[in-house]
Structure 1
Amino acid sequence: MTRIFAIVVVSGLLWTASLPAVTPVDRPDWCEPPHAVADEGARESVSEAQIRAGAYSAPSDEPVRFSDGVRLKQFDQLLETESLSFDPDSRLVDIPVWLRYTDSLIQIEAARAYYDATDGTGRFDEVIYRLVGHDGSGHADSVAMVEPGQARLERFAFTTCDPDQPDWQLRAARVELALAEGVGTARHARLEFRGVPMMYLPYMSFPLNDERKSGFLYPRIGFSGGDGLDLSVPWYWNIAPNQDATLTPRWIQRRGVMLDSEYRFLTASQRGQADLEILPDDRRAGLTRYFGQFDYRARLAPGWNARADLRRASDDDYFIDLGNDLVESSVQFLRSSVALSGRGSGWRLDLGADDFQLLDDSVAAERAPYRRLPRIQFQAGRPMAHGLEWLVDSELVHFDRDVGVTGTRLDVRPVLRYRWLTPGSFVQPELALRTTHYRLDGDHRRNPDRTLPIASLDAGLFFERPAGSDRIQTLEPRLYYLYVPYRDQADLPDFDTRELTFGFSQLFHHNRFTGADRQGDANQLALALSSRLIEASDGRSLLEGHVGQIVHFSDRRVQLPGREKEQGSRSSTLAETVWRPAEALAVSAGLQWDSLNNETEVARVGLTYRGQDARQAALGYRMRRDQVDQADVRFRYPVNERLKLIGRLLYSFEDNEPLEILGGVEYESCCWALRLTARDYVRDRDGDRRTSVFMELELRGLASLGRAPYELFRDHP
C-alpha cells in the first residue's frame, strides 16, 4: 500500500514537470512544424525526451498546444493523451482530457491533469492505477501535489484483486504524503473484505520507502478450548536506525491481559535482543507469570568475541500453560550462559559460566544440572612435518549445586596424530594421554584423579566405478581400532557425564561418554561399509547405504553409577539408507539391531514427497525400545487450484493414543488466502490435552490477520 502512494505521485506528477520550457519565438527543435507532422507525426529529442503529435501550434502570447494522438516519452516513461498545452509565461502544463501514463513501475489513467512548474503544485483527477509486474491496483478521486514534497490523495482505494470485482479493498477518505520525510498519513482508513468492514482506523501513518516507521502492526487472533479467545495487537517502535522494539498487548480471555515486548539493537561490533513476556495476574493460575530472555553478541577485538544468553521463567508450568506446542511444554530446564572467546593461529580459548533453571518437577534435586561457574576451555594444535601434528584439548570448570557433591575439575588431553592421505585411501593413527584431576568440596575425598592413554587407528579406502552412462557407484570400507586401558573410576563424581546414544558417528569416537567424568575402557574394532550411487553430471546422490558394527575384544567395565559392566563380543548392527528415486521423493531408513538378543533396539523410516502442484506428504516412524514408539503423518493435498486440505497425526503406540491431531483447509484466490486449522494435542507429560482453533486471513500485498499454529513442513524441506 505505501509504495503505491509514493509511485503515483513521484512517477506521475514529478515527471510531467520535466516537460521542456518552449517559447513562441523559439520553436522546439525536438518537434517538426505542424505541416510536417500532420500526416505521419514527428519525433526528435533533446535530453532523451521525445514527443509525437498529429497537430502542433505555438501562436504568440498563447500556450503551446499539442493534439491528436500526443505521445510524450522520456526513458521508460510514456504519457499519452489527445490534448496537452504548456504556457511559458505561467509555466502551467495542462491536460484537460483523458490521459494515460506508464513506466516500468506503474500505469495511471486520469480524466485530467495539470502541473504548475512555478510553485511545484499539480493534480490528477479521477485516477485509476495499476502496478506493473504486481497485482496492486486501485483508484483515487484526485492526486494532488499541494506543495513541493507534499501530496494529497482524496478517496483513495487499493487492492491486489481484480479491480472490477475486488474481494478486498483498503480505503481512506484522505491520504497525505510527506515525500521528503518518507511518511504518509491516512484519515478514516478502513479494510473491507467481501464488502464487509473488518477494520477501521480514524488515523494511521505509514512509511513511503523501505525505512522503518513506528506504528501498529496487524492483529493476531487465536482460540483454544482452555484459554478461550487469544488476541494480540503488536505496536512497532522505530527507536533509531540501529534500534527498534515491538510491544504487543495480548488478551487471553480466561487468563487476563499480557504484555509481550521485544527490543533489538545493532552496532558495528555488537548486537542484542531482549524479550519479556509478563502476565501480571493470571486468573487461572492465581499468580504473576513472566518469561524473559536476553541474547547478546559482541566483537571486542580481532579474534575476540563475547556472548550472553540469559533466560528465566516465573514458574515451572509457564511453557505448559502458555507455550504453543508439545516441544515447548516439554522443556526440562532453561540454560543461561555468558562467555568470552578468543582465537588465533592454532589456538582457541573460551571463558564462560552457565546456570540452569529446573522446570520439570519430576527431576530430583540430586539429578538437576550443575552450575558451571566458571568454565575455561583451551584448544591448541600445530602441524609438524610430513603429516604429523599435535593438539591439546583442555578444560577447567567448577561445578556447583545446592544438593550433592561439588568441586573443581581439570581435564587435559594432549594428542599426537599422523595423517597419510592418497586419492583413494587414508590412514590416521593417533595417540593421546588423558589426565583428569578433581578438588572436591565438603567431606568428600579432596583430590581424586585419573590418567590413562588412548590409542586409535582410523583407515579407509575409496573405490568407484561407472554405473551406466552417467552414474558412478562408490564403495567405501572403513576400520577404526580403539584401545583404552581400564582405570577404576568409581570414586570420581558425575558432574556432567552421560552415555552417548549409540549411532553411526559413535563408531569412530574415542569415548562412549560425554563430559570428562568417565573415560570408557575399550579394546575394539569398528567396521563400516558405505556405498553411494551418484549422478556424474551434478554429484547428486541417488542412493546411499551405510552399515557398521563394533567388535569388542573385552568387556566394558567403566560405567556410570548404578550401571553394571557391559558384556558381549559385538555391538548392535547399525544400518542407514537414503533413496532419492526422483527429485520430489526421498525415502530414508535406519536400524539398530541387537543380534545377540535378536531384537530391534532402534528403528526409523521416513518418506517425504513434494510435488510441483503443491502436493506434500511426510510419513515417519521411529521406535526406541521401551522408550518411544511413534508414527507421524503429515500432508497437504490440493482438491483443486484454490482449495487445499492439510493434516497431521502424531500417534504414540507406547501410550496407545494420539499426541497430536491437526486438520484444516486452505483456500487461496488470486489476491487472498484463508487458513482454518483445528488442533488437539498433549500439552504436558501428565497427558493433559489442549484443543485450539486458528484462523489466518492473508490479504496478498497487504498483510495477514490472525495466525497459524506452526509451519507444517518446516522440518521436511
Structure 2
Amino acid sequence: MSSKKKLIVCVYLFFAILLLPFILYADSNKKNSTLANQLGWVKSTENNCDGYYLESPFLSIDSKKDVIETTGDQGLFSFRGTSVLEGKVTISRAGQQITANKVYLYRNAQGKLNVVEMLGDVRLREPNTLIVGKKGRYNFDTNTKSLIDILYRTTLINKKSSPQKKPSPGTISHERKITSMTAWGKAYEFSQTEPKLFELSRASFTTCPPIRPAWRLKASHIVLNKNTGRGYATHARLLVKNVPILYVPYLNFSIDKQRKSGFLWPIIGGSNTSGATVFAPFYWNMAPNYDMTISPGWLAKRGYQLTDNFRYLSETSSGKINVGVLPNDKFFRNTQKNALEQLPTVTDPILQAELNRLINNSTTRKGLVWRNDSQFNEHWSNHIDFNYAGDDYYLRDFGTVNEITANQLLQEGDLYYKNEHWNFTGRIQAYQTLHPAEETNVSNQYRRFPQLILKGDYPNQPFGLEYFIENEITHFEILKTPGTSQELPIGNRINIQPGVSLPLNWTAFYVTPRAQLAMTQYQLYQIADTNAPASKRRVLPIFDIASGLALNRDANLFNHAFQQTLEPQLYYTYIPYRNQASIPIFDTTVNTLTYDQLFNYNRFTGLDRIGDANQLGVGVTTRLIDTHSGLEKVRLGAGEILYFANRRVTLCNNDSCTDNPQNHLNKQRFSPLSAVLDYHVNDQWKLASNAIWDPVTKQIDNTTVGLHYQPDDFHIVNIGFSYVLNGDIFSGITVNNSQNNLKLTDFSFAWPVIHDISMVGRWSQDWNQQRLQNMLYGVQYDTCCWAMRLVGGRVFTNLSNNSPQYKNEFYIQFALKGIGDIGSGNPNGLLSTISGYKSQFGQVM
C-alpha cells in the first residue's frame, strides 16, 4: 500500500474514532426516546425530573372481578374450548386492561373463561403500572400472569391527590399525570403470582427518567413486593452511565417509606481524630412499636466500634436508648502514652490528677444515653434523662457538634404527681463531670439523692384569697474534684414556704399583694469549721405586690389593621436582711438580669440564698397583634429596678465578684436597663433581640440579636450576635479588661444555588479570642433519581497551651432514589446546628 493510501486510511480511522462517541450517544438517545414513548413519558419543566408519565385513558367497567370484557377486530369465538381474536384485541377487567395483536381464549369445563395467551405488542395496564411485552399468559382463576421480553414501569410511592369522581361503567377515564417516584426497566420474563408482587428475571431497575437514565440496577433476578414495601435482587450490578461500579450477590432494599428490617447502606465519613470511618448499619423492625439500628463500624485510627440505637413506644412510655462501644482504642492508647511521658514534668496538682485519670482509663470507649417519658395515668408520670461517658474524652471524640464541649452530663430521674390542688416531684439528680486535661478546670456538682418537692395551691378561697405552699426536702452529696483536697460540706435541706395572696382584677387593671414565709433547715456534715454548728436554720418573710395595666387600641400601620397593647407593670418586693454566709452553696447561683427577672422576688436561683430586697421593678410592654390572624407582630419591653437599699446577701466575698456587697453594682439606686424586642416582619423574616445597658458605666452589659429568614424549607438564613461583659475571661488577663468581653457572631444558611444544586454553611467566630468556634460547609446535588452531598465541619474542642484545638469531620453521601442511600453518613449531626433546617436529602422529586 502506498504512503498516500496509508495516509487516507489513517485520516479516515482518526475521524471514525473521533465521531464514534457521538454516533453511539446519538444512537443511545434514539433508543431512550423510543423507550420513553413506549412508557408514556412526556417532557415538561414542571418538576425536578423534567417530565412525567402520562397514563392514557382506558375502558373502565363494572368493579366485579369476575366480569371480563373482550373485544377484537376479528376472530373465531366459541363458548366451549378455544377462541381466537386478532387485530386490536382488548381484554378488560376491574382495574385492568390487556391489549395485544392476537389472543387465545381458553375456557374451563364449565365454559368460563379462565386463561388467555397474548401474542404481539402485549400491553398490560393497571393503575400506575404499564408492562409491554412480546407475549404473555394470564390465568384468571389463580390471578397469575407472566410476560416475556418486557418493558415495564410501576409507581413506587404515590403522592396524595384529591379524590376523583369514579367513571361510570363503559366510559373512558381521563388522562392522568404520574409525578410520583416510578421505577422502570426491562426484563426477559415477568411473572406475578399475587397482587402487587413483581418477579423479574434478567432484569434492570431504575427510577431515572427514561430519556436520561443516570443509573441502573441489573440483576439475574429482581423482586418488587409492594405489599411489604421491599425489593431484592440477586447477582446485582450497579451501573452509572452504563459503567458497572458495584457488584453484590444479594441486595435487599426498601421501595417505599415503611419501616422494614434489613441492612442499610454503608456509612462513610471521617475526622482528624478517627481517620476514615465505615459503618454497616442493620435496621431491625422488631415490632410496630419498637425498633433498633445496630451499626458495626471501622475507624482507621482507632479500631472497630459498635453502636446501637433502640427506640420504643408503649401505651404509657416512649423513649430511646443509645449505646456505643469501641474496645482497644488505638488512638486513645497513644494519647495515654503521651500523658504518661508528660506527667513527670507537671507540678499543678489538678493537671496531675487529670493526667492520672487519663492514664488509668480503659481503652474500651463506651457511652450511653437513655431518654424516657411515661404517663401512667392522669395523675402520675415520669421522666428519665441519663447520660454516661466512659471517660473524660468520649464526647470530644464521638459526640455531635453540640456535645463536643459539654462537661456536665445530666443523670436524672423524675416522678411526678398532680391533681387539682397538689403537685409532687420526686427526683434523683447527678451530673457526671468530665475533666479533660489541659482544659479550664471544672468543679464537680452536688448530687440530689433524693429531692422531694410538694406544692399546693388553693385559689378562690373566702374573701378572694389564694393559699399556697411549697415544701422541699433534699439530700446533697458531692465527689471531690480531681486534684483538690478540700472536703466540701454535704447534708440535708428542708424548706417549707407557705403563702397567701389576694388577686384583685378589674377590666384593665390588676394588683396582687402576696406574703410568704420561707423556713429553711440544714443538717450538715463535713464542715470545714469543726466548731460551727451542724444544724442551721433560716426564717425569712417575703412580701411583694404585683400590679399592672392592660390597655389596647386599634391601630393601622402600612394599610394593615392591628391591635396595639400598652402593659405597664410595677412589682414591689420587700425581704429583710439575714446573714446567710454560714450556709453552704449547694445549688444556688446569681440570676442573670433579664426583662423577666425584673418581676422575680429572688435574685438567686436555688434556696441557699434568699436576697434581701427593698425594691420596685418597673417595666412596660407594648405589642402589635394582627387583627385578622391574631398573631403577635411586635413585642417591645423595657424596664429596670429601683433600689431603696443596698444589697447585702452574697454568694462570695471577693471584691471582684459582682455579687459582693461592696461592689458598686450592689450600691446603685437603679439596676441596668433591660429591654427585649421580638419583631415578626412577616412569615419569612423574624428578629429577636435583648439588651442590658448600665446607665452608670454607660455601657452594654450583654446583648443578643438574632435574625431568621425562611420563606420555605429550602431557603434559610440565620444571623446572630452575642456580647457579654466579662463573659469570656482569658487566663492572664485582668478583670474588667475589654479582652474578657465575649463577642460572638454566628452566621448560617441553606440555599439553592442553581438547578439541582444547593449549599449549606455555618460560621461561628469568637472575636474576643480571635478563634473560630464552628464551621460547616456543604454542597448538595439533588436530581430526579439520585442525590449526592458533601458535608464537612470544624468544631472547637478545647485549648491546649492556649492554642485552640479542633475536631474536623467530613461525610459523603449518595442516594439512589428507589433503592436507598449509599455512604449515608451522619451529616445531620452537623446540619442540626442550622436553625430551621430540615434535611430533604434524597426526598425531592
TM-score, shorter chain, exceeding 0.5:
yes
The question of 1:630 aligning with 2:707 is answered: no
Counterpart for residue 647 of structure 2: 556
Q: Which runs of 5+ in 2 are unaligned?
A: 1-57, 156-177, 334-362, 480-486, 654-658, 728-741, 838-845
Name which of 473, 495, 507 aligns with 1:396: 473
**Structure 1 residue 359 and structure 2 residue 434: aligned?**
yes
1:533-558 C-alpha deviation (Å, 9 max, x unpaired):
22211123333311111111111111
User: Given residue 504 of structure 2, which amino acid in structure 1 is its aligned partner?
Assistant: W
What is the match of residue 185 of structure 2?
139
- Which of 145, 169, 179 lines up with 1:122 in the alignment? 145
Q: TM-score, normalised by structure 1?
A: 0.86
Q: Aligned AA for 1:658? A: L
Once the two structures are TM-superposed, the CA of residue 289 in structure 1 deviates from its matched residue by 1.0
Deviation at 1:333, TM superposition (A): 1.7
In 1, distance between residues paired with 2:63 and 2:648? Answer: 93
Residue 19 of structure 1 is matched in structure 2 by: none
Quote the residue 2:497 is aligned against. Answer: 413
1:161 match: secondary structure: coil
How far does residue 66 in structure 1 lie from its aligned partner after superposition? Answer: 5.5
Contact 1:329 1:684 in 2 (8 A): no
C-alpha distance in 1, partners of 2:761/2:60?
A: 63
State which drifts further: 243-252 or 487-496. 243-252
Paired residues for 1:471-620 under 5 Å = 471-562=562-653, 563-565=659-661, 566-611=666-711, 614-620=714-720
Tell me the residue number matched to 1:315.
391
Q: Equivalent residue for 2:835?
A: 715
Are the structure 2 counterparts of residues 146 and 78 from structure 1 closer, same or farther at C-alpha, using a change threshold of 3 Å?
A: closer
Contact 2:555–2:562 under 8 Å retained in 1: yes
Quote the offset at 1:235 in angstroms: 1.0
Q: Does 1:276 align with 2:323?
A: yes
| Aligned equivalents of 2:548, 2:206: Cα separation in 1 | 63
| Greater strand fraction, Structure 1 or Structure 2 | 1
8 Å Cα contact 1:43/1:50 also seen in 2: no
C-alpha distance in structure 2 between counterparts of 1:659 and 1:447, whole Å: 47
**Residue of structure 1 equivalent to 2:805:** 688
Percent of pairs with identical residues: 27
Question: How big is each residue's C-alpha offset from its partner over 1:88-146, in whole Å with a ceiling of 9 and x where there is no partner?
Answer: 22821223233444444434434433222445542133031142441322124122135
- Give the SS at the match of 1:319: helix
Deviates more, 1:152-161 or 1:198-207: 198-207
2:419 to 328, 340, 344: 344
Offset of residue 608 of structure 1:
1.9
State the match for 1:383 in structure 2: 459
**370-379 or 58-67, which moves further after superposition?**
58-67
Q: Give the drift of 1:85.
A: 4.6
SS at match of 1:254: coil
Q: In structure 2, what is the equivalent of residue 4 of structure 1?
A: none
What is aligned with 1:703? Answer: 820
Partner of 2:313: 266
Deviation, 1:196, is: 4.5
TM-score normalised over the length of structure 2: 0.74
CA separation in 2, counterparts of 1:644 and 1:148? 40
- Which of the numbers 130, 135, 141 marks the counterpart of 1:112? 135
Partner of 1:29: none
Matched, 1:53 2:71: yes
SS in 2 for 1:273: strand
Cα distance in 2, alignment partners of residues 283 and 671 from structure 1:
41
More deviation in 111-120 or 332-341?
A: 111-120
Cross-structure match for 2:46 = none
**Residue type of the alignment partner of 2:548:** G
Secondary structure of 1:315's partner? coil
CA contact (8 A) 2:748 2:834 kept: no
Distance in structure 1 (CA, Å) of the matches to 2:59 and 2:787 = 50
Please give the residue correspondences for 1:631-646 in structure 2 after superposition, counting only pairs within 5 Å.
631-646=745-760
| Residues 113, 123 of structure 1: 8 Å contact kept | yes
Structure 2 contact 466–501 (Cα < 8 Å) conserved: yes
Q: Which amino acid aligns with 2:493?
A: R
Q: Equivalent residue of 2:630, what SS? A: coil
Q: Deviation at 1:216?
A: 0.8
Distance, in Å, in 1 between the alignment partners of 2:261 and 2:123 is: 36
Distance 2:290 2:695 in 1: 60
Q: Displacement of 1:681 after TM fit?
A: 2.9
CA 1:570–1:64: 2 relative to 1, 3 Å: farther
Question: Take 2:464 and 2:122, find their aligned partners in 1: how far apart are those partners?
Answer: 78
Q: Which has the higher contact order (CA 8 A, sep 6+)?
A: 2
User: Residues 62-102 of structure 1: CA distance to partner in whole angstroms, max 9, x if unpaired?
Assistant: 43555555555566555455555532228212232334444
Q: Residues 634-673 of structure 1: matches in 2 within 5 Å? A: 634-673=748-787
Q: Give the letter aligned to residue 472 of structure 2.
A: E
Deviates more, 1:117-126 or 1:528-537: 117-126
Please list, as runs of the form range in 1=range in 2, the aligned pairs for 1:157-196 lying within 5 A after superposition.
157-176=204-223, 185-196=232-243
What is the rounded CA distance, in whole Å, between the counterparts of 1:42 and 1:503 in structure 2?
71
Q: Report the alpha carbon displacement of residue 569 of structure 1 after superposing the two structures with TM.
A: 0.7
CA distance in 2 between counterparts of 1:388 and 1:613 reads 50
Of residues 309-318 and 264-273 in structure 1, the stretch that sits farther from structure 2 once superposed is 264-273
2:540 alignment partner, SS class:
strand
Aligned ranges 1:36-51 → 2 under 5 Å: 45=62, 47=64, 51=69
CA contact (8 A) 2:254 2:820 kept: no
Distance 1:324 1:44 in 2: 58
Alignment of 1:81-96 (within 5 A): 81-89=100-108, 91-96=114-119
Per the alignment, residue 63 of structure 1 pairs with: 82
Once the two structures are TM-superposed, the CA of residue 418 in structure 1 deviates from its matched residue by: 2.6
8 Å contact kept, 1:483–1:523: yes
SS in 1 for 2:590: coil
1:292 touches 1:313 (CA, 8 Å); kept in 2? yes
Q: CA deviation at 1:436?
A: 0.9
Deviations 1:155-203 (A, max 9, x none): 3333232123211233332134788888754312343334454543312
Q: How does 1:14-25 map to 2 (within 5 A)?
A: none
Amino acid at match of 1:396: I
1:693 is aligned with what amino acid? F
8 Å CA contact 1:330–1:685 kept in 2: the answer is: no
Contact 1:593 1:599 in 2 (8 A): yes
Distance change in 2, residues 1:564/1:620 (3 Å): same
TM-aligned CA deviation for residue 588 of structure 1: 2.9
How many corresponding residue pairs?
675
Residue 368 of structure 1 deviates from its aligned partner by 1.5
Residue 509 of structure 2 aligns with which residue?
425
Q: Distance in 1 between matches of 2:521 and 2:225?
A: 70
Counterpart in 2 of 1:152?
A: 199
Q: Deviations over 1:312-348 (max 9, x none)?
A: 21111111122232x3121112121223322223212
Q: Which residue of 1 aligns with 2:371?
A: 295
Contact 2:255 2:819 in 1 (8 A): no
CA contact (8 A) 2:410 2:429 kept: yes
In structure 2, relative to structure 1, the CA distance for the partners of 1:308 and 1:617 (3 Å cut) is: closer
CA contact (8 A) 1:42 1:53 kept: no
Question: SS at 2:400's partner residue?
Answer: coil
1:18 corresponds to: none
Gaps of 5+ in 1: 1-40
Query: C-alpha deviations, 1:597-648, integer Å up to 9, x for none?
Result: 1111112222222245944321111100122211112233433222233332
Contact residue 63 and residue 94 of structure 2 kept, 8 A: no
> 1:706 is paired with a residue of what secondary structure?
coil
1:38 alignment counterpart: none
With 148-157 and 706-715 compared, the bigger mean Cα shift is at 148-157
Q: 1 or 2, which has the higher helix percentage?
A: 2
